[in-house]
Amino acid sequence: MKDIVYDIPNLRPTVRRHTLAVIVDNEFGVLARVIGLFSGRGYNIESLTVAEIEHDQNPLKGGRSRITVVTSGTEVVIEQIKKLLERMVPVYKVHDLTIEGAHVERELALLKVVCVGAQRQEALRVADIFRSRVVDSTSESFVFELTGESAKIDAFIGLLEPMGLIEVCRTGIAAMSRGKAGV
């Protein structure tokens, strides 16, 4: 039984997962500064990938890199993160792929399974269903390579665990907006 006559709406802000593409100078210490921005304010990084996208022959310039960060937060928190990133000197652009439109996300995983007998056949069957490749094989183990969305990799891991999964290595999410526009 309620003590009040009317319902009070739930006004808790919604926490959403966002994928940010950050274009930065490819120079010493930039990644540490970007990560420091998150850790200094208590924001969690769920996934982080970094790669050079433009190479400059001049060693003093160094070109540019793309940092893809996946984080969760309310709209206010995400806006604060984006504004703080944009104010950093080595940052050229910050794109929130989650709100800018359709985008593609992929992740790569290597998974080692130790198994013998019937479990080997079952592991190969499951790998075939997920379109995974065997990149290493011994008489007692397999190393599978799988590319796809994080949920697909999570499902594959869940099926391999009872078969003798002993090691997992994941790259983190790489993401890109769809269509003709680039970052």
**pLDDT tens, 125-155?**
999 999 999 999 999 999 999 999 999 999 9
Instruction: Specify the pLDDT at position 1.
Output: 52
Kindly report the three-state secondary structure assignment for every residue of 111-136. Answer: EEEECCCHHHHHHHHHHHHCCCEEEE
Give the CATH number, domain containing residue 146: 3.30.70.1150
pLDDT digits 0-9 by tens, 20-46: 999 999 988 999 999 999 998 999 999
Residue 46, domain member (yes or no)? yes
- 114 and 63, same structural domain? no
| Residues 137 and 156 both lie in one domain | yes
Answer yes or no: is 84 within a domain. yes
Residue 59 has pLDDT above 90, yes or no: no
pLDDT greater than 80 at residue 2: no
70 and 119 share one domain: no
Closest CA to 49 of 145, 170, 157, 153: 170
Q: How many domains does the chain have?
A: 2
Q: In degrees rounded to 5, what are phi and psi of residue 146?
A: -135, 135
**Residue where a domain terminates, one of 38, 67, 100:** 100
Q: Which residue has the higher pLDDT, 37 or 10?
A: 37
Residue numbers of the domain that contains 81: 16-100
Looking at the fold, whether 96 and 60 belong to one and the same domain comes out as: yes
Q: pLDDT at residue 85 above 80?
A: yes
* Domain identity same for 55 and 112: no
Q: Are 121 and 81 in a shared domain?
A: no
> Where residue 60 falls among pLDDT bands split at 50, 70, 90?
low
Does any domain span residue 1? no
Query: How large is the angle between the packed helices 30-40 and 75-87, nearest 10 degrees?
Result: 150
Q: Which of 99-103, 104-108, 167-171 has the lowest mean pLDDT?
A: 99-103
Residue 109 lies in a domain: yes
CATH code of residue 77: 3.30.70.260
